[in-house]
C-alpha cells in the first residue's frame, strides 16, 4: 500500500462504422490522477496538473513522438477495431 502508483492508458474512441471519427487518447497518470494526455484530434499533449503542464510542454517539442502517436490511430486503433468489430458482427 505504500509507494506510488503510475500508469499509462491508451483508449481508442469511435462511434461511426467507417472509423472516420476515431480518436486516440493516451493518458499518463500518477497516484490515480491523470497528469497529461495525448489527444489525436488535437495532435498534442495536454497537461491537467501543474506537473502535467510541464510534461506536456516537454513532450510536445518531440516531433518524432507526436508523429508516432498520430500514426497509432491507424496502426493500433483502426487496425484492432476492424478485427474486433468483424468478430462481433460475425457472431450477431
How do residues 16-68 score in pLDDT, each as one tens digit? 888 999 999 999 999 999 999 999 999 999 999 999 999 999 999 999 999 99
Give residue 86's pLDDT: 76
Q: What CA dihedral angle connects 18, 23, 24 and 29, to 10 degrees? A: -150
Give residue 87's pLDDT: 73
**How does residue 8 score in pLDDT terms, banded at 50, 70 and 90?**
very high
Residues 40, 46, 47, CA angle at the centre, nearest 5°? 155
Q: Locate the domains of the chain by residue range.
A: 6-90
Give residue 2's pLDDT: 74
Give residue 84's pLDDT: 84
What is the pTM assigned to this prediction? 0.85
**20 CB contacts (<8 Å, ≥6 apart)?**
none
| Residue 16, SS3 per DSSP | coil
CB 12 within 8 A of CB 26: no
Task: Give the single-character DSSP code of 49.
Answer: S
Q: Is 55 exposed, middle or buried (0-12, 13-18, 19+ CB in 10 A)?
A: middle
Give residue 85's pLDDT: 81
Q: What CATH number is given for 6-90 in this structure?
A: 3.10.320.10
Amino acid at each position: 500500500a505504500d509507494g506510488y502508483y503510475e500508469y499509462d492508458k491508451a483508449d481508442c474512441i469511435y462511434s461511426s462504422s467507417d472509423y472516420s471519427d476515431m480518436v486516440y487518447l493516451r493518458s499518463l497518470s500518477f497516484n490515480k490522477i491523470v497528469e497529461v494526455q495525448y489527444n489525436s484530434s488535437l495532435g498534442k499533449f495536454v497537461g491537467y496538473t501543474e506537473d502535467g503542464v510541464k510534461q506536456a510542454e516537454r513532450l510536445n517539442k518531440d516531433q518524432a513522438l507526436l508523429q508516432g502517436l498520430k500514426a497509432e490511430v491507424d496502426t493500433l486503433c483502426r487496425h484492432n477495431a476492424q478485427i474486433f468489430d468483424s468478430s462481433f458482427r460475425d457472431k450477431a
